[in-house]
Amino acid sequence: MENKAVELLSQMIRIPTVNPPGERYRDFVDFAEKYFRGLGMDVEIVEVPKSVVAKACPDCVDHPRYILLARIGEPKVHFNGHYDVVPPGPESAWNVTKPFEPRYVNGRLYGRGAVDMKGGLTAIALAAEMAVKEGLKNFEISFVPDEEIGGESGAGYLAGSGKIKAPWAVIAEGSGVDNIWIGHRGLVWFLVEVYGKQVHGSTPWLGLNAFEGAVRIANKIIDEYIPSLSSRRSKYEFEDPRGAVPTLTIGGEVRGSVKANVVPGYFAFTLDRRLIPEEDVEEVKREVEEFIRRAAAGLEHRVEVRVINESEAAVIPPDHPLVKALENSVAKIRGKPPRKTVCIGGLDARFFVRRGIPTVTYGPGPEITAHAPDEYVEISQVVDVARSYVELLRSLR
């Protein structure tokens, strides 16, 4: 089984589905289509409309997006994963191998996308092969693009298409083999823009320094708003307990003046507000916008704040039948029950949950190598995840 996993995952990694802009997508879905048709599954390839792609990524419209759907029988579970990968960065940062030349060393397969998330796709593919050989005909599969740019033109489009037939979904993102993500946090990104009056640096009294206005607002955010978040805590378990509290990161991106001898007439900075499952996106937007308005009161500057990205949190109860069924299946394979936690980052699960499809995330890790040089996945985890999926399908016959 491990040799099969290494071979299959290596073939996937060699197709550099880099996003943005969305390279070699058709090559990848053609590869997957051939594999699943070879198992006797019904396969459909859906092209995402250009209008949807343009909204998600204007620079990507000349690179078609494809969703692969494979189904056999009357599906009880929908297995999902994304096939796009982030750019590899400079090859000089990779020590074990080159990004798209997979290498197997001491139980680990290295290469861009190994864990995020072609390792999960490999687990799905292996599970499908084992299930079909066993005569199980109760599942469907989707391989989608564009999770790495938000998912709206991938899982988001699929979830709204009406093509999913199964009542439950499992995403193969890298939760780790002894952990099931029952949900994930949400986010709202804001851009705070401060306008002053640009003048020559030798006569600052003639201008209005936008940076100084931004600093005053930022100080109030740091001194007042961020500490207020510590009083909120999610009732759900997180892998890292610190993730159970909402957070705000200030200044991830800044925009401003262009020269040392110029009084800046414009300065802007971002806020990355992360939501626990108990929080609502619209309420958080109002809360932050109102705080900025209060913080800017009394300033001569014109201050504007706008939302530049948002994504709701999503979670299903830890005692949901899907969670229990997968938990029991993992315990049979691993010899102990997995943890049931909420992912600190974001996942495509929200698109399915939004459409009334209870969804969990369970896939091979370690997650910490995602997006990094020398990314790798533990092949033993790929195999155990695949076996757990088959055990889940057996329990749902």
Each residue of 207-216: pLDDT tens digit?
999 999 999 9
Q: How far is CA 82 from CA 177, 220, 232, in A?
A: 18, 40, 33
Range of 228's domain?
Answer: 186-311
Specify the pLDDT at position 272.
98
Residues contacting 233, CB < 8 A, separation 6+: 244, 245, 276
**Contact of 174 with 117, CB cutoff 8 Å:** yes
Can you tell me the distance from the alpha carbon of 29 to that of 36, in angstroms, rounded to the nearest whole number? 10
Distance CA 79, CA 385 (A): 12
How many structural domains comprise the chain?
2
For the segment 91-96, the average pLDDT, to the nearest whole number, is: 96
CATH number at residue 373: 3.40.630.10
How many CA within 13 A on the CB side of residue 49? 8
Does residue 217 share a domain with residue 168? no
Could you tell me if 221 and 250 are in contact, meaning their C-beta atoms sit under 8 angstroms apart?
Answer: yes
What residues are paired with 138 via a beta bridge? 73
Same domain membership, residue 248 and residue 293: yes
Q: Virtual CA dihedral for 369, 182, 170, 81, nearest 10 degrees?
A: -30
Same domain, 261 and 318: no
Instruction: Supply the mean pLDDT for the chain.
Output: 97
170/318 same-domain check: yes
Cβ partners under 8 Å of residue 144, min gap 6? 67, 68, 80, 81, 82, 83, 151, 154, 155, 158, 348
360: phi then psi, degrees, rounded to nearest 5: -125, 165
Tell me, what CATH number does 195's domain have? 3.30.70.360
Residue after which a domain boundary falls, among 311, 330, 365: 311
Task: Give the burial string for 274-304 (b: 16+ CB within 10 Å, else e).
Answer: bbbbebebeebbebbbebbeebbeebebebe
Quick check: helix, strand or coil at residue 394?
A: helix
- Assign 251 a pLDDT band (cuts: 50, 70, 90): very high
Q: State the amino acid at position 108 in one-letter form.
A: R
Last residue within a domain, chosen from 269, 293, 311: 311
Model confidence pTM above 0.85: yes
- 363: Cα within 13 Å, side-chain hemisphere: 30
Residues 307 and 233 grouped into a single domain: yes
pLDDT > 90? residue 328: yes
Find the mean pLDDT for residues 151-173. 97
Is the pLDDT at 258 greater than 90? The verdict is: no
Rounded Cα distance, 171 and 160, in Å:
17
Q: Residues 104, 224: one domain?
A: no
Single-letter amino acid code for the residue at 275: L
pLDDT band at 397 (very low <50, low <70, confident <90, very high): confident
| Average pLDDT of the segment spanning 244-254 | 97
The end-to-end CA distance of the chain, in Å, is: 24
Contact yes or no for 115/177 (Cβ under 8 A):
no
Query: Are residues 321 and 381 located together in one domain of the fold?
Result: yes
**Same domain (yes/no): 174, 318:** yes
Among candidate residues 311, 328, 346, the one where a domain is terminated = 311
Kindly state whether residues 348 and 391 are assigned to the same domain: yes
Q: Do 202 and 265 sit in the same domain of this protein?
A: yes
> pLDDT grade, residue 100 (50/70/90)?
very high
What are the C-alpha distances in Å from 362 to residues 12, 126, 181, 259, 366? 20, 15, 6, 50, 12
Distance between CA atoms of residues 38 and 33, nearest Å: 8
Q: Are residues 15 and 161 in the same domain?
A: yes
Those residues whose C-beta lies under 8 Å from the C-beta of residue 95, and which sit 6 or more positions away, are 373, 374
**Do residues 78 and 6 both lie within one domain?**
yes
